[in-house]
Structure 1
């Protein structure tokens, strides 16, 4: 995802993004694939002065995440939050209506309009399909594409 690769995140942004991702994963219970994605992101982004990945993941529901904390962030960071939260929601193979609503709440708090949100959703879907496109069984890929589209 270009919005993620093209920016350096501060320690505060890494923590905020991780907490936002955790809030999405908690919507319907943290799936192992969601925990793995969040853990990989945090571990690859954290600096030595930040809490360990194990500490962050040990108590994901220690307190509710307030989307208002993200008000006023830069457009680039807002895009990153939305993209990573959508990826988190899809990590278990399905974007539920509740997960989508959670990400939309975060997006709204950051000033991401509906059109930009839908563009991010399409980007995440495209990347998921692209990751599967090398598979030799085209029927299976088509079934996954239908499943991704039907989840909304």
Structure 2
């Protein structure tokens, strides 16, 4: 995965069965890679209809998504898989709380932000921690895996595929 606007180049994205920010995904992120949950409770693969979820660390383990919160609408996220490049464009930002199951469900939904909705397009969610923002607000809460209360999600839509 490459995100030119924030200097991410050729970040390895490792797929696994699970949900965003669970124990298996955290282990992948702790190796400096991005993690992509798949399956009934996770997301889909690149270019597929639904929510292709990619999570990565921002403040530790090589900080691959350190500048993800700086992404703006219109910025491109490029994912190469199976000889095809998938070009997604950021369309919005969604911040969720780990303390609120309904908000976590929005992050993992097939249509980001709309649990239960049927997807009609290929989308991507780039998700990383809001640790600096939480700490600046005096919020030091974290779950048993070290996830802070809030996640910053950049949502994009597939606009092109190239061989």
TM-score interval (norm. to shorter): under 0.3
TM-score when scaled to structure 1? 0.26
Structure holding more strand per residue: 2
**Structure index of larger Rg:** 1
TM-score when scaled to structure 2? 0.25
Structure holding more helix per residue: 1
Query: RCO higher in 1 or 2 (8 Å CA, sep ≥ 6)?
Result: 1
